[in-house]
Structure 1
Amino acid sequence: MKSGLIIREDNAQSVLDALKSIGNKDVLVGIPSDRAARGEGDSINNAELGYLHSYGGTIEIPEHSVTINRKVNPDGSFANNGQFVKAKKSNFSTIHTVKAHAVTLPPRPFLDLGIDEKRNEIVSQFKQAASAILSGDAQAADVSLNRAGIIASDGAKGIIQAGDKLTPLAESTKRNRWARGRVGEKPLYDTGELLRSITYIVRDKNASS
């Protein structure tokens, strides 16, 4: 007796292949090694700095010199009440020695906050990846995983750019920035190097770190 079931297409193998391919992938968000380097002379790289900011910690700062830039009016008085300015706007500079000291960073988990803020969008992409797998389309699933990575990394960047969900800067950090002619007070956003280093990768789980 016939069952009445008509098999129009057997895509079991393509589904299995897709499951094998996509199930062996991770979506990693953060600061990869090829983006970790900072400016010459920095003793800590972006990946280490990102970890310290995320979980908190203490950094030992060696003795070093800083240049204070100001602008002097034609009559010899300081412009802007003597406030520090950027080097390109300065016509008066002094060099000062900063003694070795320790800086304690409070936790500012920008990655966790960014991913949590975009959770629904990220989950939606994972669902689309799963749906593509069941259709045997590994390529479409991979596209969805990459979209999830983009959304997550953009979320982390957004937390830094907004700054309102992070522990505010200490007064000493603000003074340090002002001494270098930087007036921004957003936590984690000074030179922009940390922000630019954040990205994502989709890679095989057995790939070397």
Structure 2
Amino acid sequence: MGVMKVDRLKAILQSINGLVQKEVLVGIPDSAPERKDDEPIGNAAIGYIQETGSPVNNIPARPFLVPGVADAAAKVTPQLQKGVEAALDGDVDGAERRMAAAGLLAQNSVRARINSGISPELKDSTLAARRRRGRTGTVPLIDTGQLRNSITYVIRKRK
């Protein structure tokens, strides 16, 4: 029985190079189209204001993005490790699938964090304003659901 040797070094190096040139980003794209043209700011700006707060506008910080991604780390890390293993095997598609799986896990974690309710609770005046608009929800960051639903992930080439 003979031994067959296959030189896969070139494919492996291309796969690794392709992997290190990509990154998985989780957040709200600035171009998120969920808002109407007549609304003054988009979901990305709203998300930033909610994440960091705006003392000038009396809006408390309600961090959801960074903590939501951090909550997913234990599940995301094995996916990324398997992506590296796929790249080492020369499997570019497998590496990208693992990156996508990691992105989806982080995206869902951020959305779940919003669904669980971010403190502080809404003020009575905010709840009254919601009721006037026909809204009955009391969960911070969820009024129409547009902000939560705009959270996504992308895989892109590093800049």
Same fold by TM-score, threshold 0.5 exceeded? yes
SS in 1 for 2:126: helix
Matched residues, number: 157
SS in 1 for 2:111: helix
Give the whole-Å Cα distance in 2 for the aligned partners of 1:134 and 1:167: 46
Is residue 114 of structure 1 aligned with residue 68 of structure 2?
yes
Is residue 189 of structure 1 aligned with residue 125 of structure 2?
no
2:59 to 100, 105, 114: 105
What code does the residue aligned with 1:23 have? V
Give the whole-Å Cα distance in 1 for the aligned partners of 2:134 and 2:144: 11
Q: Structure 1 length normalisation: TM-score? A: 0.70
- The answer on whether the counterparts of 2:30 and 2:42 sit within 8 Å (CA) in structure 1 is no
Residue number in structure 2 paired with 1:173:
126
Give the whole-Å Cα distance in 1 for the aligned partners of 2:43 and 2:28: 7
Superposition CA RMSD, Å: 1.7
Identity of aligned residues (%): 33
2:6 to 4, 9, 18: 9
CA shift at 1:178, angstroms?
1.4
What code does the residue aligned with 1:185 have? T
1:41 to 38, 43, 54: 38
SS in 2 for 1:203: strand
What code does the residue aligned with 1:26 have? E
- The answer on whether the counterparts of 1:110 and 1:166 sit within 8 Å (CA) in structure 2 is no
CA shift at 1:36, angstroms?
4.8
1:201 to 140, 154, 157: 154
What code does the residue aligned with 2:154 have? I
1:27 to 24, 27, 38: 24
Give the whole-Å Cα distance in 2 for the aligned partners of 1:12 and 1:149: 28
SS in 1 for 2:57: strand
CA shift at 1:107, angstroms?
1.3
SS in 1 for 2:140: coil
Higher helix share: 2
Is residue 154 of structure 1 aligned with residue 108 of structure 2?
yes
CA shift at 1:7, angstroms?
7.6
Which structure is larger by alpha-carbon Rg, 1 or 2? 1
Give the whole-Å Cα distance in 1 for the aligned partners of 2:91 and 2:22: 15
Give the whole-Å Cα distance in 2 for the aligned partners of 1:115 and 1:7: 45
Higher strand share: 1
Give the whole-Å Cα distance in 2 for the aligned partners of 1:41 and 1:134: 49
Give the whole-Å Cα distance in 2 for the aligned partners of 1:105 and 1:7: 67
What code does the residue aligned with 1:136 have? G
Is residue 127 of structure 1 aligned with residue 127 of structure 2?
no
1:50 to 22, 47, 50: 47
Residue deviations 1:135-181 (CA, integer Å, cap 9, x gap): 11111000000111111111111111121x43211222111111212
SS in 1 for 2:24: strand
Residue deviations 1:72-92 (CA, integer Å, cap 9, x gap): xxxxxxxxxxxxxxxxxxxxx
CA shift at 1:9, angstroms?
2.7
